[in-house]
Amino acid sequence: MNGAGGSPGGIGHFFIGLLMMSGGFYMLLNAIVVTSSFGLGSRLYSFNALGAGVGITGGMVIIPFIFGIGFIFYNSRNPLGWLLSIGSITALIFGVISTVRFSMRTMSSFDLIIILILAVGGLGLFLRSLRSINSRYS
């Protein structure tokens, strides 16, 4: 009988590893806190122009987007409208991504060790189940 991955044996390791890996990675991702400081008034990009610091806010990026959408609805073949819209959306996406911060919740070292053992040990068992088991070891 073929087991996980079409190899002989390993079906028990497959399910145990899958459960351990799922639980461990769930607990790890649940312990990560994601925050963002994005707002339409917050500074997305800044540069120096003529000796003064100039910042581009999220609201300033929306203005060309609005004009681009207007151009697209007036004439959908207008490349300027598509350029303004796609460029503004791209700038907003990169601005939001650049303001995202990841941090770990406060936990004891025991909690972290258990999470890592479940995640990495489960991954090891899962990958081990995909190998064929040599008949001389069974």
- To the nearest whole number, what is the mean pLDDT of the chain? 86
Lowest mean pLDDT among 5-9, 34-38, 61-65: 5-9
Q: Any idea what the Cα angle at residue 92 is, between residues 88 and 96, rounded to 5°?
A: 175
1-10, 46-55, 59-68, 116-125: which is most confident = 116-125
**Could you give the dihedral angle defined by the CA atoms of residues 128, 129, 132 and 138, in that order, rounded to the nearest 10 degrees?**
90
User: Which tops the pLDDT comparison, 23 or 58?
Assistant: 23
The tens digit of pLDDT for each residue in 53-97 reads: 888 888 888 999 999 999 999 999 999 999 999 999 998 888 888
Q: Would you say 66 and 73 are in contact if contact means Cβ atoms under 8 Å apart? A: no
If residue 53 lies in a helix (H) or strand (E), which one and from where to where?
strand 52-57
- How far apart CA 118 and CA 20 sit, in angstroms, is 5
pLDDT at residue 37, as a whole number: 78
State the average pLDDT over residues 1-25. Answer: 81
Is pLDDT above 90 for 121? yes
Q: Any idea what the Cα angle at residue 10 is, between residues 4 and 15, rounded to 5°?
A: 75
User: What's the number of CA atoms in the CB half-sphere (13 Å) around residue 9?
Assistant: 10
